[in-house]
Amino acid sequence: MSDSALTTAPVALDPTFENVWDELLWRGLVHVSTDQEALRALLAGDPITYYCGFDPTAPSLHLGNLVQLLTLRRIQLAGHKPLGLVGGSTGLIGDPRPTAERTLNTRETVEEWVRRLRAQVERFLSFEGENAARMVNNLDWTAPMSAIDFLREIGKHYRVGTMLKKDAVAARLNSDAGISYTEFSYQILQGMDFLELYRSYDCVLQTGGSDQWGNLTSGTDLIHRVEGVSAHAIGTPLITNSDGTKFGKSEGNAVWLDPEMCSPYRMYQFWLSTADADVIERLKVFTFLTRAEIEEYAALVESEPFRRAAQKRLALEVCATVHGAEATAAVIAASDALFGQGDLNELDAATLRSALDELPNATMPAGASVVEALVATGLVTSASEARRAIAQGGVSLDGEKVADDESTVRGTLPGGVSVLRRGKKTLAGVFIG
């Protein structure tokens, strides 16, 4: 991030905590776990190997996965050795959803998504030093195994009664859809992953979302039965908003980490809109700000909520972590300029266009009237309303006040676009085409 003037928190643990376990607890990252005292001692001791798995059920990871990625990084910063697993085999099946079977993707699709997810995971870990990260793919040890070997060597250690009690399985059994043997077997595959990583890398800890707890303990139980040793698991909380709504959704769509699926501008605005009631917990989970810094922002939320200082810092930190400092600087410049605090003509064309994609917009021919553009973008409901707004001096185009209703839109901003404003805060984009 040195290529930008932006100031972001260093990627480091908070030195005021004695143990990374204590920091994980303070940040609210432990919803459920195996023995806490054993985990605290384990993470305070010699370096261990630990892992988290990511299934390629989509072409990108999303904000829910970001919790795991940052948890992996925090534990690595304490000197431990992470394994990033992308599930080439489990991705061919998919873990059971609460309501219905997943659509099975083709092998070619899963292979491509494995490649994409692997590149995303790699960006969050360090592959240098004594505790360098390693990437693994469970297809490497699952594909060579025959069905007979799988049943004899792994399946014999599982009891159907126990499997039926797992939350994900129980939910599906009680639904109209039921559950196929394929998805029912998912927990065995994930358990086998942990056993394989224990045998190959001495991996003794798995992290994941608390909704995966049944799958996490599938592995710890299997290792205990087969190898006679204790392994551990940490289930992070599912992040929800204070009003009970699902976190990580924006207008019904997941907030993806891939910039082609969710632009840096959209991600920045998502974090900027965080409610006061949620922002401090988000700073704990999604940034490397220290406890003291976060407490300062908590005080600002209480004393000067109108400044939205905590939201601005949150948006800066997460956007820079996911997309880099340069893209984040461009996004902030676009956000400022759109709301009258910068020069629209100095913006990066791609960033400006992605910002306008998030606003009401319309495609117009060059030379179309501002009146037509106001109606097409929905800033007004009729041509007469548009003319009235212009006459009252309440309309601007590309940062300049529109003088009369004969003015035209020509897309003079970078990338051949225009920005319409009605009043102080109502914006729309115009694409020339």
Binding-site members for L-tyrosine are 51, 186, 190
CA distance 82 to 54: 13
Binding residues, as ranges, are 51, 186, 190, 249
Binding residues for ATP, as ranges, are 249
Can you say whether the dihedral through the CA atoms of 114, 86, 235, 154 is positive or negative?
positive
Do strands 49-54 and 81-86 pair parallel, antiparallel, or not at all (unpaired)?
parallel
Two tokens at 213?
């707890």
Contact 234, 205 (CB under 8 A): yes
Two tokens at 4?
């930008």
For residue 253, the surrounding DSSP H or E stretch is strand 253-254
CA distance 265 to 348: 12
Q: Which string of b and e fits 81-93 if b means at least 16 CB within 10 Å?
A: bbbbbbbbbbbbb
CA distance 351 to 191: 44
CA distance 114 to 329: 30
